Amino acid sequence: MSKKVAILQSNYIPWKGYFDLISAVDEFILYDDMQYTKNDWRNRNQVKTPNGVEWISIPVGKAISRRIRDVELSNSVWQKKHWRTLEMSYRRSPYFNDVAEWLSPLYLSIAYTSLSQVNRLFLEAICSYLGINTVISNSWDYQLIEGKSERLADLCLQAGASEYISGPAARAYLDKQAFEAVGIELSWFEYSDYPEYPQLWGEFSHGVTILDLLFNCGKDANQYMKYTTNK
């Protein structure tokens, strides 16, 4: 029986393409054993506001040399701040109340200790709302070997995968032979040609958090995505 796997660092409330990749596979491995990168998507994302597209970021300190899974959170001030921004930006959207019912407790009722914990809980909640049933696991559930491509291929092998689906940016560094050596098919995910959906606050933007799509379209969000209706 074939099994598709994707392996990617956890992101904070990522854009719709991230969830399409999750939906396109049978197991999605959060690769938080990787180095944390500043000014990236790990701890921040973009929302549309009356003043245009803005960043909301989780404060994680200035330490550079640490894995994503080791990024600890020192306070919870950001939680109420982020929810206030979302509430002010999307309270006029058609599905605000529907989404807020399950989203607001994630911001207002949980004491988080790590970035990985935050990202995973939000990912799981959004997947549940979209009806995505993909298994989500952590890279530390497996043994990790050396080698960039070799490690990913070996993770796929341990997970029982027959196919690894990667984002297109990895074409620049992934070694296809490492996957061929262990009998894993390597495929590339395509993020282009998304349709526009009803969106507040001016010029349309595809790159914002998926929460923008959920607030504006609710369960109809699937109509503006690629894979969530195929599982």
pLDDT digits (tens, 9 = 90+) for 135-158: 999 999 999 999 999 999 999 999
Q: CA–CA separation, 201 vs 134, rounded Å?
A: 33
pTM of the model: 0.95
With a cut of 70, say whether residue 221 has pLDDT above it.
yes
Q: CA–CA separation, 173 vs 166, rounded Å?
A: 11
Confidence tier at 23 by pLDDT (50, 70, 90): very high
**CB proximity list for 192: less than 8 A, separation 6 or greater:** none
Written as one letter, the residue type at 2 is S
Q: CA–CA separation, 76 vs 115, rounded Å?
A: 12
Joined together, the tokens standing for residue 142 give: 């497996």
Joined together, the tokens standing for residue 110 give: 């949980």
**CB of 74 closer than 8 Å to CB of 61:** yes
pLDDT in tens, 104-143: 999 999 999 999 999 999 999 999 999 999 999 999 999 9
With a cut of 50, say whether residue 2 has pLDDT above it.
yes
With a cut of 70, say whether residue 230 has pLDDT above it.
no
Q: Given strand 163-166, what is the order of strands in its sheet?
A: 135-138, 27-30, 4-8, 163-166, 185-188
- Least confident range from 12-16, 170-174, 178-182, 194-198: namely 170-174
Name the one residue in this structure whose structure tokens are 């245009």: 52
Query: For 165, which DSSP code?
Result: E
Mean pLDDT, the chain, rounded, equals 95
CA distances from 50 to 70, 80, 196, 199, 214 (A): 35, 19, 19, 12, 18
Residue 172, pLDDT score:
86
Written as one letter, the residue type at 102 is W
With a cut of 50, say whether residue 12 has pLDDT above it.
yes
At residue 192, the 3 state secondary structure works out as: coil
With a cut of 70, say whether residue 94 has pLDDT above it.
yes
With a cut of 50, say whether residue 231 has pLDDT above it.
no
List the chain domain ranges: 4-224
pLDDT in tens, 53-90: 999 999 999 888 999 999 999 899 999 999 999 999 99
How much of the chain exceeds pLDDT 70, in percent?
Answer: 98
Confidence tier at 228 by pLDDT (50, 70, 90): low
